[in-house]
Chains A and B, each alone.
Chain A
Amino acid sequence: MKKLKRLSILLLVFSLLLVTACSNKESASGDGEGTKKKDVEIKFWTIALSPTFDDYINGLIDQFEKENPGVTVVWEDLPFDTVEQKTLTAAASGKLADVMNLNTDYLKKLAAVGAVMDLTKKAADVKDDYFDGVWDAGNLGDKTYALPWYVTTGGMLYNKELLEKAGFNHPPATEKEAWEMTEVLYDKLGVYGSVPNEIHKYLPQNGVEIVSKDLKKAAINTPEALKIFKEFKARFDKGLIPKELLLGQAKTNEWYAQGKVAWWLTGPQLFRQVKDLSPEVYEKSDAAPAMGGSSGFLHMAIMNIAVSAKTKSPEEAVKFAKFVTNAESQLAFSKIVAILPSVKEAAADEYFTQGENSDDPAEKGKFYAAKQLEIGKNIFPPVENISEINKAVNEEFQKVLLENKDPQKALDDAEKRINDLLK
């Protein structure tokens, strides 16, 4: 009985807490709306930027609210792994954010089902502010559904010590040189060099388009692609391509940090991951420009800002989207983290013309990356099923390497799968 009494008291206390916790919150939010008396509220979603960039995003919002009296921006930051779940449940109940930060693949999916607003006309006035190769990322077919936000072109972080041990005093500058060096590195030290785990990026960078210009059928089945597949198969058979990295089971940054890989091709904003994983290896590292393929351009990863098709205040939402991605906002953002702006004016800032002689690879990498912005571009065709298409290409490629599938047969199958996905 004593126990029962104690339990019921505990229950009572907790029920009260629950009630007060709920009512407190309601009254608090009620007050907020009451005192501000704004006419329009815009909900803004970002992906995994809080709390590191709280000051920056809140500063943006404050400024926008000041310039646009009557508009309130409510910011919510979503954890990386749950963007899809959050988007779909919110959309199902009609609560999708007005302005959203989306990656290129998911943007295309959402555009295809009409979830995001067609900005072709509404954003025509700002189109020329952005780099041409970047603007495409927001397209599906010939319409634009998003504004480019921050971008990253490739950069290279390389391990000076490993290269010296193998007898090299400079990082590779071309694909051809990279593979020659890889072979020496592997034979002498048992470490790897180039690790092409994303053939869907490698192909277009080297002149093989995956989808035809009119976006109607596969363009991958060419003699050039066959040659590339055969080359890689030969390298794989020599042991130059580790299976774990090919399959994406191991992360290149971790292998680089363990000294198992001599260079890592990635955006300079990610160089610091190595510092985090292994300060010692970072000390031995230096930055170099990324190697472009034979096509002369570089793949660029792009984050986009889209506007919900169902927003209640389309004008303000589009305005805010443009504000977030304009030169001034992007420049300020780039200065906090080594990302690159998608706006020409911001990229021209002297901030990006410095750093060539920096001791810090991340700084130096930023300099090279900014220099390469001109040749950087979005290489993914604007079709709905782009992520499935990329996956199909990778799978067929992996079959050639891992399971000795005939390269021509693999390309035939890839072509067929892509054509199915384009229907």
Chain B
Amino acid sequence: MQPAQTNINTVPKIDQTKQTRHLPNKRKAGRLIVSYFFLTLAAVVMIVPFLWSLSTALKGKNEAIFSFPPNFIPENITLENFMTVWNTLPIPLYLWNSIILAFWGVILPLLFCSLAAFPLARMNFKGKNTVFLVILATMMIPGEVTMIPIYLILEKLGLIDSFAGVILPGAVSAFGIFLMRQAFLGIPKEIDESAIIDGARPWQIWWYILIPMVKPMLATLAILSFIGSWNNFLWPLLVLQDPNAYPLTVGLYDLKGTFVTDTRLVSAGAIIALIPILVVFMMFQNYFIKGAYSSAVKG
């Protein structure tokens, strides 16, 4: 990436002989305090809605939930709402359906998007700009007007009422290609050149050299794809006819009735659905390693 290269060179020259590891202790402690202050301040602002749903889910039948000002700590904490949700709906079945859908909903975008992003970021070929623009352009049309055409295409392909019908429309996203293209752009061009001189084939460069370098972005895409698939509500509902094939988010919608919607149960359901997302988020964060590639790569 040209601009980055030149700018990095304008950074004051690095004196390798200087000790780089240890900053003065006082400054370090001060910085820690400042960091944690801002971290915690932001965290408080961000976590409030989650805490509210959690506290609502833990409130018993005879406790008000829309009190003003909001009451965050339940008077009597109870798991009764979770039990009710678990007993009214086939949660394990829904969970299983969600897992299958999410598995494909993560694997396929990771694979196809990073494949397609490679030539768009690192090769020169005729029509490259047009292809990239068309991919971007597909994101600019509201889903509300493409919904019926997509549905009809799925029907022509015989995919209505099958998991494939839910998975395939989301298997490649323009968003994912775009994201991976930007990640690949950040890697210096010289790497490919030297690999080709060494006799590497394009797929080898892609798999052995480039993919390991964009792991943090792949992890990001994985997290987003997982959440997207997990929270996908409209498509499973439109495509799947059999309630036994419903994923969790669609199944949980049964908690909202025409006459009575118990917000405590809805919150409990939302918390149940949130847990796998949290697990996956923490899991993929392991690919965020400080300084994933060191400046040594730059040669």
A interface residues with partner B (beta carbon < 8 Å): 11, 14, 17-18, 21-22, 25, 29, 47-52, 76-77, 79-80, 82, 85-86, 88-89, 92-93, 254, 257-258, 260, 269-270, 272-273, 276-281, 337, 339
Task: Kindly identify which residue among A76, A79, A258, A273 contacts B241, using a CB–CB cutoff of 8 Å.
Answer: A76
Least CB distance from A313 to B in Å reads 19
Task: Evaluate whether A279 and B254 lie within 8 angstroms (CB atoms) in the complex, with A17-B100, A18-B100, A85-B234 already known.
Answer: no
Measured between beta carbons, the chain A residues less than 8 angstroms from B88 are: 51
Least CB distance from A223 to B in Å reads 40
Contact between chains at A47 and B258 (CB < 8 Å): yes
Contact between chains at B151 and A25 (CB < 8 Å): no
Contact between chains at B148 and A92 (CB < 8 Å): yes
Task: Say yes or no: is B190 at the interface (Cβ < 8 Å to chain A).
Answer: no
Task: Say yes or no: is B64 at the interface (Cβ < 8 Å to chain A).
Answer: yes
Q: Which residue of B lies closest to A267 (CB)?
A: B259
7 of the cross-chain contacts (CB-CB < 8 Å) are: A21-B100, A79-B256, A85-B147, A86-B237, A89-B151, A257-B66, A276-B65
Measured between beta carbons, the chain A residues less than 8 angstroms from B89 are: 51
Contact between chains at A82 and B234 (CB < 8 Å): yes
Task: Say yes or no: is B242 at the interface (Cβ < 8 Å to chain A).
Answer: yes
Contact between chains at B256 and A260 (CB < 8 Å): no
Measured between beta carbons, the chain B residues less than 8 angstroms from A281 are: 64
Residues in B253-296 with C-beta less than 8 Å from chain A: 253-254, 256-264
In this complex, the member of B244, B254, B258 whose beta carbon has the largest number of chain A beta carbons within 10 angstroms is: B258
Contact between chains at B64 and A280 (CB < 8 Å): yes
Contact between chains at B65 and A278 (CB < 8 Å): yes
Measured between beta carbons, the chain B residues less than 8 angstroms from A260 are: 68
Measured between beta carbons, the chain A residues less than 8 angstroms from B103 are: 14
- Is the contact region of chain A dominated by helix, strand, or loop, or is it mixed? helix
Least CB distance from A256 to B in Å reads 10
Task: Say yes or no: is B162 at the interface (Cβ < 8 Å to chain A).
Answer: yes
Measured between beta carbons, the chain A residues less than 8 angstroms from B160 are: 93
Measured between beta carbons, the chain A residues less than 8 angstroms from B62 are: 279
Task: Evaluate whether A92 and B151 lie within 8 angstroms (CB atoms) in the complex, with A51-B254, A86-B237 already known.
Answer: yes
Task: Kindly identify which residue among B64, B151, B241, B254 contacts A278, using a CB–CB cutoff of 8 Å.
Answer: B64
Least CB distance from B111 to A in Å reads 10
Contact between chains at A277 and B64 (CB < 8 Å): yes
Contact between chains at A89 and B148 (CB < 8 Å): yes
Task: Say yes or no: is B107 at the interface (Cβ < 8 Å to chain A).
Answer: yes
List 19 other contacts, CB 8 Å, given A25-B161, A76-B241, A82-B238: A21-B163, A22-B164, A49-B258, A50-B254, A51-B88, A79-B237, A85-B147, A85-B238, A86-B237, A88-B148, A89-B148, A273-B261, A277-B65, A278-B64, A278-B66, A278-B67, A279-B62, A279-B63, A280-B64
Task: Say yes or no: is B245 at the interface (Cβ < 8 Å to chain A).
Answer: yes
Residues in B178-199 with C-beta less than 8 Å from chain A: none
Task: Say yes or no: is B94 at the interface (Cβ < 8 Å to chain A).
Answer: no
In the assembled complex, the Cα of A408 lies from the Cα of B108 at a distance in Å of 61
Measured between beta carbons, the chain B residues less than 8 angstroms from A270 are: 259
Least CB distance from B36 to A in Å reads 36
Contact between chains at B260 and A272 (CB < 8 Å): yes
Measured between beta carbons, the chain A residues less than 8 angstroms from B63 are: 279
In the assembled complex, the Cα of A332 lies from the Cα of B155 at a distance in Å of 39
Contact between chains at A52 and B67 (CB < 8 Å): no
Contact between chains at B66 and A254 (CB < 8 Å): yes
A-B residue pairs, 3 tightest by C-beta: A278-B64, A79-B253, A48-B258
Task: Kindly identify which residue among B164, B245, B259, B263 contacts A277, using a CB–CB cutoff of 8 Å.
Answer: B263
Measured between beta carbons, the chain B residues less than 8 angstroms from A339 are: 259
In the assembled complex, the Cα of A86 lies from the Cα of B236 at a distance in Å of 11
Q: Which residue of A lies closest to B253 (CB)?
A: A79
In the assembled complex, the Cα of A11 lies from the Cα of B161 at a distance in Å of 22
Contact between chains at A49 and B257 (CB < 8 Å): yes
Task: Say yes or no: is B226 at the interface (Cβ < 8 Å to chain A).
Answer: no
Contact between chains at B152 and A92 (CB < 8 Å): yes
Measured between beta carbons, the chain B residues less than 8 angstroms from A48 are: 256-258
Measured between beta carbons, the chain A residues less than 8 angstroms from B241 are: 76
Task: Kindly identify which residue among B64, B163, B260, B263 contacts A279, using a CB–CB cutoff of 8 Å.
Answer: B64
In the assembled complex, the Cα of A277 lies from the Cα of B148 at a distance in Å of 38
Task: Evaluate whether A82 and B237 lie within 8 angstroms (CB atoms) in the complex, with A25-B245, A92-B152 already known.
Answer: yes
In the assembled complex, the Cα of A272 lies from the Cα of B257 at a distance in Å of 13
In this complex, the member of A17, A25, A88 whose beta carbon has the largest number of chain B beta carbons within 10 angstroms is: A25
Task: Say yes or no: is B104 at the interface (Cβ < 8 Å to chain A).
Answer: yes
Least CB distance from A12 to B in Å reads 12
Measured between beta carbons, the chain A residues less than 8 angstroms from B128 are: none
In the assembled complex, the Cα of A47 lies from the Cα of B259 at a distance in Å of 11
Least CB distance from B88 to A in Å reads 6
Task: Say yes or no: is B31 at the interface (Cβ < 8 Å to chain A).
Answer: no
Measured between beta carbons, the chain B residues less than 8 angstroms from A337 are: 259
Task: Say yes or no: is B61 at the interface (Cβ < 8 Å to chain A).
Answer: yes
Measured between beta carbons, the chain A residues less than 8 angstroms from B148 are: 88-89, 92
Measured between beta carbons, the chain B residues less than 8 angstroms from A82 are: 234, 237-238
Least CB distance from B86 to A in Å reads 13
Residues in B12-34 with C-beta less than 8 Å from chain A: none
Least CB distance from B92 to A in Å reads 15
Q: Which residue of B lies closest to A10 (CB)?
A: B103
Contact between chains at B163 and A18 (CB < 8 Å): yes
Least CB distance from A115 to B in Å reads 14
Task: Evaluate whether A269 and B259 lie within 8 angstroms (CB atoms) in the complex, with A82-B234, A257-B64, A279-B61 already known.
Answer: yes
Measured between beta carbons, the chain A residues less than 8 angstroms from B260 are: 52, 272-273, 276
In the assembled complex, the Cα of A15 lies from the Cα of B155 at a distance in Å of 22
In the assembled complex, the Cα of A92 lies from the Cα of B151 at a distance in Å of 9
Q: Which residue of B lies closest to A336 (CB)?
A: B259
Q: Which residue of A lies closest to B103 (CB)?
A: A14
Contact between chains at B104 and A14 (CB < 8 Å): yes
Task: Kindly identify which residue among B61, B68, B161 contacts A258, using a CB–CB cutoff of 8 Å.
Answer: B68
Least CB distance from B83 to A in Å reads 16
Q: Which residue of A lies closest to B161 (CB)?
A: A25
Measured between beta carbons, the chain B residues less than 8 angstroms from A269 are: 259
Least CB distance from A27 to B in Å reads 13
Q: Which residue of B lies closest to A276 (CB)?
A: B262
